[in-house]
Chains A and B, each alone.
Chain A
Amino acid sequence: EIAGAPASPLDVVCLDANKDYVIISWKQPAVDGGSPILGYFIDKCEVGTDIWSQCNDTPVKFARFPITGLIEGRSYIFRVRAVNKTGISIPSRVSEPVAALDPVDRARLKSQPSAPWTGQIIVTEEEPAEGVVPGPPTDLSVTESTRSYVVLSWKPPGQRGHEGIMYFVEKCVADTENWQRVNTEIPVKSPRFALFDLAEGKSYRFRVRCSNSAGVGEPSEATDVTVVGDKLDIPKAPGR
């Protein structure tokens, strides 16, 4: 960064694109470096290359510029530098990629299926000790309760620990503290679960724990007592 040079321009976006030109605009930098901004340089780079080229020889005044000389069908990213009498700013953040295509062709390509592509698999080694055990899930509630099944749903924990969270559901016959894990083998990845093997007429409470590679976390707060019965019982929405 040059002392006295402006700060970088902001929010480089594409206003219009077709196969002949792309019009981009940007916001002037928050700081002019002490002397007025004389203009801007716009740079383009074809996606997939690292080659940046300057589009204009002399600085442009207006914060909007049509870029020509694009190859039809290729995608480009853009960045902008601001100039004052002291120097040139460091470049802005780059724009989203823009394809040099007429809108009709863009729409056609968008709706066309494309065969899958898989990148090189990257393998990394991780220390088992690094993992953080996730916190308890929240807002656990019984969203459906019938004679033959009960559906639970909850929210993932705020304190996520590692990625790849799985859940363990526990049940307990009301008035006891005898918690039993329901899914001992099958990992639950979605924040909902249906329990089927409950005894009709009995009352249960439920709770859920998170687990990841680092271990199993603390349980959520238990639900209120649910009677497994004939009626379709839809309790009030959680968190109200």
Chain B
Amino acid sequence: MSGAATLSHAGCAEAPVLRERGQREVFCGLTGIIWLHRKIQDAFFLIVGSRTCAHLMQSAAGVMIFAEPRFATAIIEERDLAGLADANEELDRVVGQVLARRPDIRMLFLVGSCPSEVIKLDLSRAARRLDRAHAPAVRVLAYSGSGIETTFTQGEDACLAALVPEMPASAKAPALLVAGVLAEVVEDQMRRLFDALGVGPVGFLPPRRARELPAVGPGTRVLLAQPFLAETARALEARGARHLPAPFPLGAEGTTGWLRAAAEEWGVPQARFREVTAMGEQRARAAIARHRDVLAGRSLFFLPDSQLEIPLARFLARELGMRPIEIGTPYLHRAHLAAELPLLPRDALLSEGQDVDRQLDRCRAARPDLTVCGLGLANPLEAEGLATKWSIELVFTPIQGYDQAGDLAELFARPLVRRAALTV
């Protein structure tokens, strides 16, 4: 594989990063609620924001909005802007309304938005007040999902970071904590692999039920399942946990590297490790190979969206032979990507932040074979003759682990297969 050749260089570990700022065509952190509320089954997310926030959630959630979702917006109105005391009373009333309607809720998140933060509505204080009022039935926490503070997946980071102080303190015995929302099917696969390796006990953050938080303490080793968890990792480290550096579990190579980080920490013998992972890795490689013909040699351009761009580019370059031209990410966390950056091809341009018009100029000039971008840009670029893969699907679809590696490759192959198939 071409991977070995690029590995001998330092990859992109020391490459300069193009930092831009200007218009950013990205979602805010509120959108994280859409997958977080599916995962934490007894939590409710109450955004304190404007009609724009409600409209964003409605547009991003699509038909999910009709399925009695466990999120809503307390829309700030003109009279709430008059005085802060009034706004707090109003918030208490709305929270009462929500909890009366949804007695199954055990945890309520007050989610800050741009408007609530600009008017300096103190949601942390409101959460403490409401927590006292509704204890012990409902725990009330607060975090920010605003556009001024968070970009897209950073909303998950902010939510998980708010959960960390709630985690019980652990005994001294070592335990593995996997941080980051994974689809349940993926979580179950990972749990089986850890069991087979003898790594454990294993806890997942977030848990499926809000009150079943895993414990944390000096014995805890943290494996990040997602690359966008800077705050969560910091909060876990503050509680004594230690981060295990690893590539992210995308593709055969990434998944093996991710599992290995835990296996090594637990002193699993190499032979045992191979025994447990060989089958999955082989299945993944076979599934990926089916898409190699379509993708190998094709150039690739990432616009920033989710922070998944760097691990995805690594997977597509090394396991499918694609050529990343520019890899844009909203935020580049060097420490968490330490195992990824050396694996990237050296000639790829790394960019952090965005000035969307300038970036599109670069994209058009490069004429990549495939552009990964958001839904606001995808159709316009298709109309210009560029094949695109819309990126949001990558946070809603199970893509991590061995058994999703083929599906992940297919997500990128499908737009190219489709373009080849259409004759009109």
- A and B: bona fide binding partners: no
